[in-house]
Structure 1
Amino acid sequence: MQPAAITDNSWRGILRINCDLSHSGYNDPIVYPGQRDAAHLHRFYGNTLLDEHSNLTSLFTTGESSCQGDELNRSAYWVPALLAPSYEPTSDERLLDNNGEPAWKIVPAVVGNDDEAHEIFYYSAGVDDLASIQPIPLGLKMIAGNHMGMPGMEQDTSIVRWHCQSWESNDATNPRWSSSIPECLAPDRLRMDIFFPSCWNGTDLDSYDHKSHLAYPVNNGGPNGTVCPASHPVPIIRVSFHYAYGVKPEVYDPQSRSSRGWRFASDMYDVSSSTPGGMSLHGDWFNAWHPEALQAILDGCIRQRLDCHDGNLANGYRLTGTRAGSQTEPPIVNKGLGY
Structure 2
Amino acid sequence: MKLIHSCAVFSVFMLTACGGSSSEESSESSSSSYDLTVAFSSTPLVETQLQYAKFAFSAPDAQTYECRLDANDFSYCESGLFLVDLGLGNHRFEVRAIASNGEIGSETSFDWNVNSLFDSSNDDLIATNVMPETVAPNSWRGIIRINCDFAHSSYNDPIVYPDQENAAHLHRFYGNTLVDHTTTMESLYTTGESSCQGNQLNLSSYWVPALLAPLYDPITGQRELDNQGEPAWQVVPAVVGNDEEAHEIFYYSAGVDDLNSIQPVPAGLRMIAGNHATMPGDSQDTSIVRWHCQSWESDDATNPQFSATIPECLAPDRVRMDIFFPSCWNGEDLDSADHKSHMAYPIEHPTTGRMVCPDTHPVAIARPSYHYAFGVKPEVYDPVTQTSKGWRLAADMYEVTDTNHGGLSLHADWFNGWHPEIMQLIVDSCIKQALDCHDGNLANGYRLSGTRPGTQVEPDIINQGKGY
- Cα drift, residue 274 of structure 1: 1.3
1:225 aligns with 2:354: yes
TM-score, with length taken from structure 2: 0.72
**Quick one: which amino acid aligns to residue 272 of structure 1?**
T
Give percent identity, aligned residues only. 70
Q: Which runs of 4+ in 1 moved over 4 A?
A: none
1:154 paired residue number: 283
223, 248, 259: which one pairs with 1:119?
Answer: 248
Amino acid at match of 1:138: A
**Is 1:331 the counterpart of 2:434 in the alignment?**
no
Kindly indicate whether residue 450 of structure 2 is the aligned counterpart of residue 321 of structure 1.
yes
Paired residue for 1:289, among 411, 418, 421? 418
Name the CA shift for 1:142/1:23 in 2 (closer, same or farther; >3 Å).
Answer: same
Deviations 1:140-192 (A, max 9, x none): 01000000012122100000000000000000010000000000000000000
Aligned to 1:182: 311
Structure 1 partner of 2:222: 93
Task: Tell me which protein shows more strand as a share of its residues.
Answer: 2
Residue 335 of structure 1 aligns to a residue whose secondary structure is: coil
1:9 aligns with 2:123: no
> For 1:13-162, what aligned pairs fall within 5 Å after superposition?
13-162=142-291
Shift, 1:327, TM fit: 2.9
Q: Deviations over 1:233-278 (max 9, x none)?
A: 0000000000000000000000000000000000000001111000
What secondary structure sits across from 2:464 in the alignment? helix
- Which stretch has the larger CA shift, 218-227 or 287-296? 218-227
Offset at residue 137 of structure 1 (A):
0.6
Residue by residue over 1:176-209, the C-alpha shift from the partner in whole angstroms, topping out at 9 and shown as x without a partner, is 0000000000000000000000000000000010
2:295 aligned to 144, 159, 166, which one? 166
CA distance in 2 between counterparts of 1:210 and 1:106 reads: 27
The residue number in structure 1 matching 2:48 is none
Q: What amino acid is the match of 2:425?
A: A
**Aligned twin of 2:430:** 301
Instruction: Please give the TM-score of this superposition, normalised by the length of structure 1.
Output: 0.99
Counterpart for residue 67 of structure 2: none
Instruction: Answer with 1 or 2: which has the greater Rg.
Output: 2
The alpha-carbon deviation at position 224 of structure 1 amounts to 6.6
Alignment: residue pair count: 339
Give the structure, 1 or 2, with the largest relative contact order (CA under 8 Å, sep 6 or more): 1
- Offset of 1:116 from its aligned partner? 1.5
Unaligned runs of at least 5 residues, structure 1: none
Give yes or no for the alignment of 1:272 onto 2:395. Answer: no
- Look up the equivalent residue of 2:239 and give its one-letter code: V
Q: Which residue of 2 aligns with 1:247?
A: 376
Quote the offset at 1:117 in angstroms.
Answer: 3.0
Which SS does the other structure have where 1:155 is aligned? coil
Contact preservation (8 Å) 1:18, 1:117: no
Give the Å deviation of 1:88: 0.6
Return the alpha-carbon distance in structure 1 between the equivalents of residues 282 and 167 of structure 2.
24
Query: What secondary structure does 1:58 align onto?
Result: helix
* Equivalent AA in structure 1 for residue 186 of structure 2: T
Distance 2:190 2:447 in 1: 22
Find the counterpart in structure 1 of residue 40 from structure 2.
none
Please list the CA deviations of residues 23-53 of structure 1 after superposition, one character each: whole Å capped at 9, or x if unmatched.
0000000000000000000000000010100
CA contact (8 A) 1:82 1:106 kept: yes
2:388 is matched with 259
The one-character-per-residue Cα deviations of 1:291-314 (angstroms, maximum 9, x if unpaired) are 000001111100110000010011
Deviation, 1:223, is: 2.4
Q: What is the distance in 1 between the residues matched to 2:323 and 2:155?
A: 21
Aligned Cα RMSD in Å? 0.7
Deviations 1:51-76 (A, max 9, x none): 10000010011110000010000000
TM-aligned CA deviation for residue 129 of structure 1: 0.5
